[in-house]
Chains A and B, each alone.
Chain A
Amino acid sequence: DGGITQSPKYLFRKEGQNVTLSCEQNLNHDAMYWYRQDPGQGLRLIYYSQIVNDFQKGDIAEGYSVSREKKESFPLTVTSAQKNPTAFYLCASSSDYEQYFGPGTRLTVT
């Protein structure tokens, strides 16, 4: 079954800790994206990558970091520098303009 997996579905962390969200795809897509969704807001782009070992900042990259060592994987690290990390995080991949989304990770930082 082709698709995008994100784990875990729910994640809880204490303030000041870094946390890494996993995203894996087996769709053989070159491009991968990270978004966050907050209540009443659309999806905002954090980082994106079109090819292995290359990635670009999106609209709200501050406090986040990513890596793209393999085509299938695009992990997102939420660092302690991110001021409001509690949110729903979505990973997507695409081969053209239609993006396919994973099920999301709800991160709660207290």
Chain B
Amino acid sequence: DQQVKQNSPSLSVQEGRISILNCDYTNSMFDYFLWYKKYPAEGPTFLISISSIKDKNEDGRFTVFLNKSAKHLSLHIVPSQPGDSAVYFCAASPTTDSWGKLQFGAGTQVVVTP
């Protein structure tokens, strides 16, 4: 049973415009959320995270928004650049889980076009 869902497998966006990636979760115990970026044949790299005590976290061009009531989070990339073309994974964890296990979504492939 997929507890973290990324319902858009792909997204195409023009360079300079905004990329919006969405993620939904079903487990109400999740209270820490992360976004990872992955290039082909490489390991994912951490982008940005958010705790459930916040509804927004910003780091440069990347902003994550959390809507706890809707169990929904989104990642905004502004402005999009060609190097942003990658697969983006949403991940979630309950901080009560001392093992730090993460549940990952299936990923969204972003293609930034000139």
Residues of A within 8 A of B (CB): 4, 6, 9, 31, 33, 35, 40-45, 48, 50, 56, 58, 88, 90, 92, 94, 96-104, 106
Contacts and interface: CB of A to CB of B under 8 A. Distances in A.
Nearest to A95: B100
B34 interface: yes
A94 B99 CA distance: 10
Nearest to A3: B43
Interface of B: 4, 6, 9, 32, 34, 36, 41-46, 49, 89, 93, 95, 98-102, 104-107
Given A50-B99, A98-B34, A42 B107 contact: yes
Nearest to A30: B100
Contact of A101 (B41, B44, B107): B44
A45 B93 CA distance: 13
B41 A94 contact: no
5 contacts: A6-B43, A42-B107, A48-B99, A101-B44, A106-B41
Nearest to B49: A98
B44 A45 contact: no
B101 to A, nearest CB: 6
A43 to B, nearest CB: 4
B9 A104 contact: no
A42 B105 contact: yes
A42 B98 CA distance: 22
B106 A104 contact: no
Contacts of A103: 41-43
B100 A96 contact: yes
Nearest to A50: B99
Contacts of A94: 100
Those 9 A-B pairs whose CB atoms lie nearest each other, nearest first: A101-B43, A42-B104, A43-B104, A42-B106, A101-B44, A103-B43, A97-B32, A102-B43, A97-B100
Nearest to B109: A40
B101 A45 contact: yes
